[in-house]
Amino acid sequence: MSSWRIVGIIAVLVAASVARGQDQPKTYQIKSGPKTVEWGFFDPAVKPLVTIRSGDIVELDSPLAGSKEMESFGMPEELIRPEMRVLEAGVDDRSRSYGNILVGPVAIEGAEPGDVLEVRILELRLPDNYAVNVFHPGGGILPDDFPYARARAIPLDRDRNVALFAPGVEIPLQPFFGTMGVAPAPSIGRIGDGPPGYYAGNLDNKHLVAGTTLYIPVQTKLALFSAGDGHAGQGDGEVDGTAIEVALWGKFQFFVRKDLKFKWPRAETPDFYMTMGFDPDLNKAAQMAVREMVGYLVSQRHLSPDDAYMLCSMAVDLQVTEVVDGTKEIQALLPKKIFVQK
C-alpha cells in the first residue's frame, strides 16, 4: 500500500473521529444563585444563562425558597439554609408576587416559534433530608374550611425513599419539577409561571418524573426554558396548594423538534402517551385533553377522527392533575401496551 493511500486513510479516520466528537452532547451545569434564578416568571427579554445545541444536556439545581415564611411558622433554624436568605435578599415585591423560584433560562440554538421543544428528564435527585408543606388563607380547594395558615417540615428517608409524614404514615417519594416551561412571545412579554398553559409552566404533574419526556410548543426564538418548584411527591390536584416541597437537582436533555406541530404541551412516560387540557372550567379542560389526544391518534397513529374518538372512550383515562392554580388541568393517558408490535 502506498504511503499516500495510508495518509488518506488516516485523514478519513481522523475526520470521522472529529465528526463523532462533534455529535457528542455537551453537558452544562447551572447552580442556583441570585444571578441564575427568576422569581416565578417566564420572560422573552431575559438574557439566557447558557446557549446550547439541540441534543445537549443541562444539569441544574432548584432551591427550596421561603426563608421568611418558614421563620414566621417557627420552622427549625437548621432548615433555613443561608442560600435561601441570599436568594430572597433584594427581591422586590413585584417579582416575588409571581410565585415559584425558577432556574434559567436555557437557550436552545435553532428553536423557533412553531417548533416543539423535547425535554427529556434524565435524572432527578433530592439533596436534603426534609421537605415542607404549607397552606394559606384563601388558598387551596377548601379555603372556607381552612381560613388560616399552617406549615410543617416533613422528614425524608432517602434510603427507603419515603416521606415520614407521621408515625405509621409514609409517602413514597416520586421527585419531579412542578414547573417547567418556555418563555412566551415578545409581544406578550413577562408572564407568571402559574397557572399552566400553552408554554407549560406550573403543571404540577406528578407523572413527569425521571425517564419521562415533556414536549412544549416553542413560543419565542431559542425557546428559553426554565424549571423549578421541586416536589418529592404530590397527590393529583395538590389540594391544599403545595406538595412535598423540596430542593431538587435535575438533569435534562433538549431536542428541537421541527417535525412536530402542536399548540399545547404533551408528554410521554414509559407506559403512557399523555395530552393535557387547561381551563378554569373542568369540563372544558377535559374536552381539550381529549381533543388533543384525538389529534395525536390521527397524526401519529394514522387513525380516522371517528376511530380516534372511539379509542379514547375505550382505552384513555382522564385524570385531574391540578385544581388550585386558577386554571384546572386534566391529563389524558393512553396506554402504550395497546399497540401491538408486529
| Spans of the chain, pLDDT less than 50 | 1-21, 93-97
The phi, psi pair for 283, rounded to 5°, reads -65, -40
Write down the pLDDT at residue 87: 73
- 27, three cell numbers: 453537558
The phi, psi pair for 232, rounded to 5°, reads -95, -5
For residues 179 and 100, is the Cβ–Cβ distance under 8 A? yes
Write down the pLDDT at residue 22: 54
Write down the pLDDT at residue 92: 52
Could you tell me the pTM of the whole model? 0.89
Write down the pLDDT at residue 2: 41
Write down the pLDDT at residue 342: 67
Which amino acid, one-letter code, is at 94?
R
CA angle (136 as vertex; 131, 137 as ends), nearest 5: 165
Q: Which CATH number describes the domain made up of 23-126+174-263?
A: 2.60.120.580
Domain limits, the chain:
23-126+174-263, 271-342
Is 271-342 in the same CATH topology as 23-126+174-263? no
Write down the pLDDT at residue 323: 93
Write down the pLDDT at residue 268: 98
Write down the pLDDT at residue 38: 87
pLDDT (tens digit, 9 = 90+) per residue, 75-103?
A: 677 677 777 777 777 555 444 445 788 99
Q: Which CATH class is domain 271-342?
A: alpha beta
Residues 6+ apart with CB under 8 A from 12: none
| C-alpha distance from residue 24 to each of 18, 27, 54, 271, 341 (Å) | 10, 10, 11, 28, 31
Residues 6+ apart with CB under 8 A from 44: 183, 184, 185, 186, 188, 189, 219, 220, 224
Measured CA to CA, the distance from residue 160 to residue 157 in angstroms comes to 6
